[in-house]
Structures are given as C-alpha cells and as structure tokens.
C-alpha cells in the first residue's frame, strides 16, 4: 500500500462497524460511517448481549447438525428452514454440512482461541477510552438442563474448548443446588453448569454509547444512506449510495452484517454470508436472574436487562427483510415456560427479529478483499457482540498497515 489511509469510510453501524471506526480513530484516522437506517438497526440491537469467549466456537459441528436436522421435523422447532430454499441458501447449507465434522470444528476452535483470549480486553480499551456504558461480570453465567445426562454434552464441549487452549473455567451443579444458585430456575431444571469469567452488556445502550463516543471524536455517522456499491481504486475507494451520490475515501470497510455478500461479493469474497434470523423479547421477572441463563436443549438465551428479562432464540434461515413471524416468538415462549419461575411470559415488550451473519465454515470474514483499499469485517454469526471490539481493533491495524496480523489469517475473507 502506498501511504496509510487517513480518511476511512465504514459501511454499517452495528457493533462491528462502530468498533472498527473507534479503533481507526484511536490511530488518528478520520472516519465516516454510512448506515442504511440508524445505529444498531441490525443484529446488534436485540441480541442476548453475552460476552462469553468461553463459549465462542464455530457453529458447524456434528451435534449441531444432528440437532438441526431433528429440529426441522418438529413444528415447535428452534430451527426454521423454508421448504423452497433459494440457490444461495442451498450453497450455504451444503458448505455448512461439509464443515460439520469434528476435525473441522477443532480447527475452527483453534482459530478462535487467540481472538477469544483478547475479546474482553478490547472492551476494557473502549471503556478506558470513553465508552461509558459498562460491561457486567456474569456472576453467575448459568446453563440449565432437565437432566444430568443432558448436561454431559455441554461438559464435553467445554472440555474440548479448554483442551484447545481457551481459558474457560466451569463446574457442574446438580439437583436442588441449581435453584439454590438461581431461584428463577423452576424445579424442572435438574442440572446446571456454571461458567466463570464471562460478562454481558445491554446491547441497545452499549451501541448508543459507542456511537456517541465515535461522534465525540469528530467521527461522522451518516444515517439513512443505503450503499449500493463500492468502486475500488489503487489508492482510494468510492462509496456509491442509492441516490447515485459518490463519496471518495482513502479506504472503505464493509461491516454490513448479514448483507455482507451483497457488496463484498463483487470484490473477490466468495464465502456467502447467510442470515440466521433470531428473535427476542423482554418480560417482567421476579426474581430477576442475577446473570445470563442459557438453556442449550432449547437453544434459548436469557439476559437480565434494565429490570426485565430479555429472552432470545431461534435460527431461521430466511431473508433479513422478511417480516417477524409471531409463531417463532410463541415457540420460544413455550420452550422456556417450564424452565423459569416468576416470569410473566404474556407481558412481552420489544418483540424483535434480527439476522445473525452466518458463514458456512463458522468463521468470520475479517481482512482485505481483492481490492487494495477495501476491507471486510463481519460474518461472526452467533458471536459478533463478543468479538466486535477485538475485530475492530485488529481490522484497524490491518487497514493502517495494509497487512493482516497473524491472528486474522484463518479469517481471511478471500479463503
């Protein structure tokens, strides 16, 4: 690269885009963020807010595949696949199935370890630099199961994660001790696993505060700008919006979440990014759980946020802009009803659907494209909140040096 970019555009104001903008500013770069709707309009709003590097692993895995196939046959399933899938979805699913082997999962796990180890530290850098909404210690982070046997699968997975070099401490809790630890669990929960050292945040508040921090450092966040193309040049790149207006910058970072393929596909990025839609809502809870609760058997995540309990789940392979399907909310409600006490599941607020940006190999796309001044940051699937800041930090380094650090090698967008 000739000279380091001084003026960089980021497309997409989710956590990944805003964190990238912030870390670029940290190095003295002038940033402009172009966002189709508004800050946190995508997946970064209604997610569970877990910062759980101890659980951040690739999605394609034999057990997930078996679970997904079984779940497809059940009407109350936490996984939904349209009967008439389009060619892009079939391509994604073929890749997902091919990657669902133990060997590939272990390889993916090893790729995650170096970034997972630094994930929480990157939040601390943001906090020290003025992002005022705090991250919270998950004390405890609890996974609940109906039987001790059900818990064994997660214990095996956590052991594999630890064996791969990830620092993760956990312990099983049996019978009544689960309720003693978390009174919001019903007596149907007969086993639990405590995972230590994890955190969580309030996604809408955190995104608002990160957006304010970017603006406070004279970054521009330009909302209601739909970017339809990026024209690469040798020492610059031009953002084209739907109105035809064009803006030239020294470099452009694409952080458009589940829409990543649309702009990055023309720049040599062949890995498709598929929307894995999830749903959430919040309910009153008394007692309010002291920390996040995970029900792996039901694939449901619960997080205490602003005095209510946010409940999130589902994996629906549909277009990002399709409307919210109330049947999915009902399926989540029925899945958690037997497992929680003191929640009013009928008094729901903030019903939401959003798209996880999923890749077929379960690894994100972070780094340069085939165009010298265009980069991508996205495709984190289930883990774009936990990994957003470290992604921004490493990508900012890549943009400035014109070369990706070794931690990003497995996430090469041109793989």
Ligand X SMILES: Cc1cc2nc3c(=O)[nH]c(=O)nc-3n(C[C@H](O)[C@H](O)[C@H](O)COP(=O)(O)OP(=O)(O)OC[C@H]3O[C@@H](n4cnc5c(N)ncnc54)[C@H](O)[C@@H]3O)c2cc1C
383 binds ligand X (CB under 6 A): yes
User: Distance between CA 170 and CA 308 in Å, rounded?
Assistant: 26
Instruction: Among 144, 378, 392, 410, indicate the residue that binds ligand X (CB under 6 A).
Output: 378
392 binds ligand X (CB under 6 A): no
318 binds ligand X (CB under 6 A): no
Give the three-class secondary structure for 327.
helix
Q: Of the listed pieces 5-13, 57-65, 142-150, 184-192, which binds ligand X according to CB under 6 A?
A: 5-13
Instruction: Among 60, 144, 304, 354, indicate the residue that binds ligand X (CB under 6 A).
Output: 354
The answer for 218, left when phi > 0, alpha when psi is -120 to 50, beta otherwise, is: left
Instruction: Report the nearest approach of ligand X to the CB of residue 363 (Å).
Output: 13
17 binds ligand X (CB under 6 A): yes
Please choose, from the candidates 221, 179, 300, the residue with its C-alpha nearest in 3D space to the C-alpha of residue 18. 221
Instruction: Among 5, 8, 9, 12, indicate the residue that binds ligand X (CB under 6 A).
Output: 12
266 binds ligand X (CB under 6 A): no
- CB nearer ligand X, residue 111 or residue 385: 385
- CB nearer ligand X, residue 151 or residue 382: 382
373 binds ligand X (CB under 6 A): no
- CB nearer ligand X, residue 100 or residue 256: 256
- CB nearer ligand X, residue 224 or residue 235: 224
Q: Are 351 and 324 in contact (CB under 8 A)?
A: yes
Letters for 190-229 (x = contact with ligand X by CB under 6 A, - = none) are: ------------------------------------xx--
Instruction: Report the nearest approach of ligand X to the CB of residue 375 (Å).
Output: 13
List the beta bridge partners of residue 172: 193
Instruction: Among 114, 357, 362, 392, indicate the residue that binds ligand X (CB under 6 A).
Output: 357
Instruction: Report the nearest approach of ligand X to the CB of residue 412 (Å).
Output: 17
User: Distance between CA 202 and CA 192 in Å, rounded?
Assistant: 24
Please choose, from the candidates 353, 356, 380, the residue with its C-alpha nearest in 3D space to the C-alpha of residue 275. 356
Instruction: Report the nearest approach of ligand X to the CB of residue 36 (Å).
Output: 3
**According to DSSP H, which parts of 58-202 are helical?**
62-72, 87-99, 102-128, 148-163, 177-181
User: Distance between CA 194 and CA 172 in Å, rounded?
Assistant: 6
280 binds ligand X (CB under 6 A): yes
Q: What DSSP letter does each residue of 67-98 carry, written as one string? A: HHHHHHTSTT-SEE--SS--HHHHHHHHHHHH
Q: Which residues contact 335 (CB under 8 A, 6 or more apart)?
A: 76, 78, 295, 298, 300, 313
- CB nearer ligand X, residue 373 or residue 380: 380
Q: Are strands 308-316 and 79-80 parallel, antiparallel or unpaired?
A: parallel
- CB nearer ligand X, residue 68 or residue 179: 68
User: Distance between CA 299 and CA 335 in Å, rounded?
Assistant: 9
C-alpha triplet 105, 98, 158: angle, nearest 5°: 20
Interactions with ligand X, residue window 42-61 (CB under 6 A): 42-44, 47-50
Instruction: Among 16, 193, 251, 264, indicate the residue that binds ligand X (CB under 6 A).
Output: 16
User: Distance between CA 31 and CA 255 in Å, rounded?
Assistant: 14
- CB nearer ligand X, residue 285 or residue 315: 315
Letters for 74-113 (x = contact with ligand X by CB under 6 A, - = none) are: ----------------------------------------
Burial 257-293 (b: 16+ CB within 10 A, else e): bbbbbebbebbebebbbbbbbbbbbbbebeeebebbb
Interactions with ligand X, residue window 26-45 (CB under 6 A): 34-37, 41-44
Q: Are 321 and 381 in contact (CB under 8 A)?
A: no
- CB nearer ligand X, residue 179 or residue 410: 410
Q: Give me the residues that bind ligand X (CB under 6 A), please.
A: 11-17, 34-37, 41-44, 47-50, 226-227, 255-259, 278, 280, 301, 312, 354, 356-357, 378, 380, 382-386
């Amino acid at each position: 690269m000739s000279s380091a970019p001084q003026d960089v555009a980021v497309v997409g104001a989710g956590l990944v885009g805003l964190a990238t903008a912030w870390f670029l500013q940290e190095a003295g770069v002038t940033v402009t963020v172009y966002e189709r709707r508004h800050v946190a309009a995508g997946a970064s709003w209604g997610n569970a807010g877990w910062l759980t590097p101890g659980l951040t692993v690739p999605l394609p895995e034999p057990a997930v595949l078996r679970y997904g196939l079984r779940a497809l046959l059940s009407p109350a399933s936490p996984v939904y696949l349209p009967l008439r899938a389009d060619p892009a979805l079939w391509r994604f699913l073929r890749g997902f199935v091919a990657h669902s082997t133990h060997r590939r999962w272990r390889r993916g796990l090893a790729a995650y370890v170096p970034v997972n180890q630094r994930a929480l530290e990157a939040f601390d850098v943001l906090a020290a630099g003025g992002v005022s909404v705090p991250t919270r210690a998950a004390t405890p982070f609890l996974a609940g199961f109906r039987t001790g046997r059900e818990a064994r699968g997660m214990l095996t997975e956590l052991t594999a994660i630890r064996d791969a070099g990830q620092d993760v401490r956990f312990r099983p809790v049996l019978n009544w001790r689960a309720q003693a630890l978390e009174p919001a669990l019903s007596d149907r929960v007969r086993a639990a696993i405590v995972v230590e050292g994890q955190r969580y945040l309030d996604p809408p508040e955190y995104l608002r505060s990160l957006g304010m921090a970017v603006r406070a450092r004279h970054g521009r966040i330009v909302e209601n700008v739909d970017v339809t193309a990026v024209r690469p040049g040798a020492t610059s790149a031009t953002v084209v919006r739907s109105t035809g207006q064009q803006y030239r910058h020294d470099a452009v970072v694409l952080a458009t979440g589940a829409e990543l393929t649309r702009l990055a596909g023309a720049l040599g990025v062949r890995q498709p990014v598929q929307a894995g839609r999830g749903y959430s809502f919040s309910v009153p809870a008394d007692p309010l759980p002291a920390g996040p609760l995970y029900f792996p058997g039901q694939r449901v995540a619960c997080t205490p946020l602003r005095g209510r309990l946010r409940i999130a789940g589902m994996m629906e392979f549909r277009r990002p802009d399709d409307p919210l399907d109330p049947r999915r909310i009902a399926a989540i409600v029925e899945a958690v009803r037997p497992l929680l006490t003191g929640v009013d599941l009928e008094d729901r607020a903030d019903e939401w659907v959003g798209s996880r940006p999923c890749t077929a190999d379960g690894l994100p796309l972070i780094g340069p494209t085939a165009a010298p001044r265009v980069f991508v940051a996205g495709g984190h699937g289930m883990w774009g909140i936990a990994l957003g800041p470290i992604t921004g930090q490493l990508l900012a380094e890549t943009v400035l040096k014109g070369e990706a650090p070794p931690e990003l090698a497995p996430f090469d967008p041109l793989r």
